[in-house]
């Protein structure tokens, strides 16, 4: 990547059809795990005009009313249009009971280290974790700002500050970098859906979004829009209704929004709709945990951790660290430190982060909240992979190599 460049990242609100599907899928995961932490569940969802389709494979001692879960999510998001609403949409399900798998019927909180070492990953995947010093959340600035705008649009709608908005909106922020550091805001684009094409008119909508959404988001930001920043609000005109009545949605189609806005690499595997036995979900969390601690410890300004898992192995087949020339020690040494001081085994990740217990601890809604505004960099949720509790350890270990 050049040292001087412009980069854009997109975010969407809770009403985007793909994100609606992610929320339904993760709400199902929450309901299973809250009642029975040892549940296995894979849930996928698709939506279109007046239709919700849920496909799920599971075994559990809990009972989950799939249509009821979906309707509650749709109602909470705020879809009350004639074309798509919680009361009248048709919900189709394809549900399959999984056979009991002794390799997955374990309580990681009670296992010895030897037993954890004998529990292999059941999926092949390469996952990536990333962190950088661009923002207080150690996330890339374009995505950080795009998420803030999406959150503000949603709050403005829920608080009736912009009462005519519908649930779907998209945001995009472009940032100019100089010497690979954020320098200025190049562009801001917001497309917000409304109930009627001409109520209000486009000028009123643009003025409202500018005053109620954009200005508050940038009020306390060190880098603000300037007189050259290009701002586009509904550049293609009115966006009426939005949501499933306008375009379909599918679980797992917004991986870049879930992770790093494509500023860093990410796995092609969906994060939502999977219980914690799926390494393609929780491996991404522990990779972020390692990368964030490295940057927070001051060992690099940017860090990407790559973990490659193979079926039948408990540990990653490959661990790579890339600091893009910003590391205080070599990437090879950092990779060795990461491998020694972070536990990337499937059951060990589940145990450390208490991933099966989080829905009950959060009173029934943890993974569903992750499904909007990203799985990484969250400050509104107590996500264990965002902790920086290995800073002192990493500094001490790295100090030996620095000296």
CATH topology match: 5-12+141-244 vs 17-108: yes
How much is the pLDDT for 98?
A: 87
- What is the rounded CA–CA span in Å between residue 125 and residue 346? 13
Count Cα neighbours of 168 within 13 Å in the Cβ-side half-sphere.
Answer: 26
Q: What is the CATH number of domain 125-133+253-402?
A: 3.30.300.10
pTM of the full structure: 0.96
Which among 50, 48, 43 is positioned nearest to 93, based on CA atoms?
43
- What is the rounded CA–CA span in Å between residue 295 and residue 131? 6
Q: What is the CATH number of domain 17-108?
A: 3.30.300.10
How much is the pLDDT for 134?
A: 98
How much is the pLDDT for 3?
A: 86
Which among 153, 147, 172 is positioned nearest to 229, based on CA atoms?
172
First to last CA, the chain: 31
Helix and strand numbers, DSSP H then E, in the chain? 13, 12
Residues of the chain scoring pLDDT < 50: none
How much is the pLDDT for 102?
A: 64
- What is the rounded CA–CA span in Å between residue 373 and residue 258? 7
Kindly report, residue by residue over 155-212, the tens digit of the pLDDT: 999 999 998 999 999 999 999 999 999 999 999 999 999 999 888 999 999 999 999 9
Please, is 49 exposed, middle or buried when counting C-beta atoms within 10 Å of its C-beta (0-12, 13-18, 19+)? Answer: middle
Q: Is 335 helix (H, G, I), strand (E, B) or coil?
A: helix
How much is the pLDDT for 106?
A: 84
Q: Is 387 helix (H, G, I), strand (E, B) or coil?
A: coil
- What is the rounded CA–CA span in Å between residue 269 and residue 266? 9
Q: For residue 165, which phi and psi values (nearest 5 degrees)?
A: -75, 150
Chain centroid to Cα 324, Å, comes to 23
* Size of the chain in residues: 403
369 and 381 Cβ atoms separated by less than 8 Å: yes
Which among 23, 32, 20, 14 is positioned nearest to 276, based on CA atoms?
32
Query: What are all long-range contacts of 328-332, with beta carbons under 8 Å and residues at least 24 apart?
Result: 328/298, 328/299, 328/300, 328/398, 328/402, 329/299, 329/398, 329/401, 329/402
Chain centroid to Cα 384, Å, comes to 14
**346: which 2 tokens?**
């499937």
How much is the pLDDT for 364?
A: 83
22 and 250 Cβ atoms separated by less than 8 Å: no
Q: Where are the domains of the chain?
A: 5-12+141-244, 17-108, 125-133+253-402
CA distances from 235 to 171, 176, 189, 192 (A): 12, 21, 8, 10
How much is the pLDDT for 399?
A: 83
Strand-pair partners of 173: 9, 188
- Which class does domain 5-12+141-244 fall in? alpha beta
397 and 390 Cβ atoms separated by less than 8 Å: no
Q: Is the peptide bond before 43 cis (omega within 30 degrees of 0)?
A: no
Kindly report, residue by residue over 348-387, the tens digit of the pLDDT: 999 999 999 999 999 889 999 999 999 999 999 999 999 9
How much is the pLDDT for 291?
A: 98
């Amino acid at each position: 990547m050049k040292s001087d460049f412009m980069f854009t990242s997109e975010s969407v609100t809770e009403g985007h059809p793909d994100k609606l599907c992610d929320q339904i899928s993760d709400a199902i995961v929450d309901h299973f795990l809250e009642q029975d932490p040892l549940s296995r569940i894979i849930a996928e969802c698709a939506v279109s005009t007046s239709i919700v389709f849920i496909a799920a494979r599971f075994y559990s001692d809990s009972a989950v009313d799939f249509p009821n879960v979906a309707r509650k999510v749709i109602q909470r998001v705020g879809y009350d249009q004639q074309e798509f609403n919680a009361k009248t949409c048709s919900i189709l399900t394809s549900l399959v009971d999984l056979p009991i798998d002794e390799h997955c019927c374990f309580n990681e909180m009670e296992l010895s280290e030897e037993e954890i070492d004998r529990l292999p990953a059941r999926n092949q995947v390469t996952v990536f974790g990333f962190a950088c010093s661009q923002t207080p959340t150690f996330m890339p600035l374009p995505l950080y700002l795009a998420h803030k705008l999406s959150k503000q649009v949603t709050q403005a709608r829920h608080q009736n500050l912009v009462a005519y908005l519908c649930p779907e909106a998209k945001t995009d922020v472009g940032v100019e970098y100089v010497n690979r550091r954020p320098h200025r805001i190049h562009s801001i684009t917001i497309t917000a859906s409304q109930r009627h094409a001409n109520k209000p008119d486009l000028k009123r909508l643009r003025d409202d979004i500018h005053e109620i959404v954009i200005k508050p988001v940038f009020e306390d930001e060190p880098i603000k829009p300037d007189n050259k920043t290009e701002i586009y609000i509904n550049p293609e005109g009115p966006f009426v209704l939005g949501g499933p009545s306008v375009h379909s949605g599918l679980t797992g189609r917004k991986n870049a929004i879930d992770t790093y806005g494509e500023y860093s690499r990410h796995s092609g595997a969906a994060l939502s709709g999977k219980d914690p036995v799926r390494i393609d979900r929780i491996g991404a969390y522990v990779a972020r945990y390692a990368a964030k601690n490295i940057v927070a410890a001051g060992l690099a300004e940017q860090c990407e951790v790559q973990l490659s898992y193979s079926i039948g192995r408990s540990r990653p087949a490959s661990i790579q660290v890339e600091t893009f020339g910003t590391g205080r020690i070599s990437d090879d040494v950092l990779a060795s430190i990461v491998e020694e001081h972070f536990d990337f085994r499937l059951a060990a990740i589940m145990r450390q982060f208490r991933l099966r217990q989080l829905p009950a601890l959060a009173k029934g809604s943890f993974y569903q909240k992750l499904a909007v505004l990203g799985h990484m960099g969250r400050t509104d949720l107590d996500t264990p992979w965002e902790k920086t509790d290995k800073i002192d350890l990493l500094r001490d270990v790295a100090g030996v190599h620095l000296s």
